[in-house]
Amino acid sequence: MNSNKPHILVTNDDGIRAPGLLALKDACAEIADVTVLAPSHNWSASGHVKTMHKPLRVDRVTLADGTEALSTTGAPSDAVALALLGVVERDIDFVVSGINRGANLGHDVTYSGTVTAAMEAAISNVPAMAVSLNTREQADFEPAARFAASLAEQTLERGLPDGILLNVNVPHLPADAIKGVCVTRMGLRIYRDELLKRVDPRGKPYYWIGGPEPTGIEDEGTDIWAVANGYISVTPIHLDLTAHDLLETLADWKLGMP
Ligand code: MN
């Protein structure tokens, strides 16, 4: 698999058996050599993980289409770290994570294993993107996969600045019903989490964080607005979380040791 094509690492957080991973791998294989290294089980909403207190295993597996892949006991971000640190011998030019079953909009990016896998690549200055489809149902991932591969191709040509990743969300529509592509900013999610308290067989309470799916504020120009209106959303995200607007204000506080 050493051609002069670029080399893409495909990973996800829904696990190595997820259909969205297979669709993404197939589409990326049209434009690049692809290595798949993904978690052995579902890590959705696992956030950005670095496993430090137990060893990580990597196993060779065969995907549903008969192709070879690697699976790990680690989290999505561990999978990317493992690959970049040498478990995958060939240098990786681009990391694509997904296609997630379920959108990752607004503050979802902080929970998302799909997005944090791409963040892990950005930390190592490897260009990356996360791709999510806005449905929790059985889905046709092909239109989203086709778009992801075309964006990957263009990004490989143009490059991305260090520390930047792309967060892509695709509406769950037939390809010809998708209205186009919007470059967006992160919108505001509205979480409707509810505390569910239950009692175990020994009389001790336990909890689930449950509740309905989050909604969001459909401000024009945001990822939430774009997907709700039938557009593919592409949000550039940087890892610099500094609130630059507040630097001067905070400096005026004249902070010092009491
Ligand atoms: Mn997921």
- pLDDT, tens digit, 9 for 90 and up, residues 39-79: 999 999 999 999 999 999 999 999 999 999 999 999 999 99
Q: What is the Å distance from ligand 1's center to 132 Cα? A: 8
Cα 7 off chain centre by: 18
Q: What is the Å distance from ligand 1's center to 84 Cα? A: 22
Question: From CA 221, how far away is CA 99, in angstroms rounded?
Answer: 23
pTM of the model: 0.95
Q: Say which CATH topology domain 7-188+217-251 has.
A: Stationary-phase Survival Protein Sure Homolog; Chain: A, (3.40.1210)
The answer to whether residue 153 scores a pLDDT higher than 80 is yes
Q: Over the range 166-192, which residues count as b (16 or more CB within 10 Å of their CB) and which as e?
A: bbbbbbbbeeeebeebbebbbbebebe
Single-letter code of the amino acid located at 252: D
Question: From CA 5, how far away is CA 159, in angstroms rounded?
Answer: 15
Question: From CA 83, how far away is CA 72, in angstroms rounded?
Answer: 10
Q: What is the Å distance from ligand 1's center to 42 Cα? A: 7
Residue 248: the pLDDT is: 96
Q: What is the Å distance from ligand 1's center to 109 Cα? A: 11
Q: What is the Å distance from ligand 1's center to 252 Cα? A: 43
Residue 10: the pLDDT is: 98
Query: Taking a C-beta distance cutoff of 8 angstroms, is the pair 197, 207 a contact?
Result: yes
Taking the chain, what is the end-to-end CA distance rounded to the nearest angstrom? 62
Residue 3: the pLDDT is: 79
Reduce the DSSP state of residue 195 to 3 states and report it: strand
Question: From CA 12, how far away is CA 141, in angstroms rounded?
Answer: 14
Name, in order, each residue with C-beta under 8 angstroms of 158's C-beta and a sequence gap of 6 or more.
Answer: none
Q: What is the Å distance from ligand 1's center to 53 Cα? A: 24
Of 139, 142, 141, 92, residue with least CA distance to 118? 92
Q: What is the Å distance from ligand 1's center to 253 Cα? A: 42
Question: Average pLDDT, stretch 108-129?
Answer: 97
The 10s digit of each residue's pLDDT in 214-255 is 999 999 999 999 999 999 999 999 999 999 999 999 999 999
Q: What is the Å distance from ligand 1's center to 13 Cα? A: 5
Q: What is the Å distance from ligand 1's center to 48 Cα? A: 13
Question: From CA 134, how far away is CA 181, in angstroms rounded?
Answer: 15
Question: Average pLDDT, stretch 97-123?
Answer: 97
Report domain extents, the chain.
Answer: 7-188+217-251
Q: What is the Å distance from ligand 1's center to 82 Cα? A: 20
Q: What is the Å distance from ligand 1's center to 98 Cα? A: 8
How wide is the angle at C-alpha 148 spanned by C-alphas 147 and 152, nearest 5°?
Answer: 120
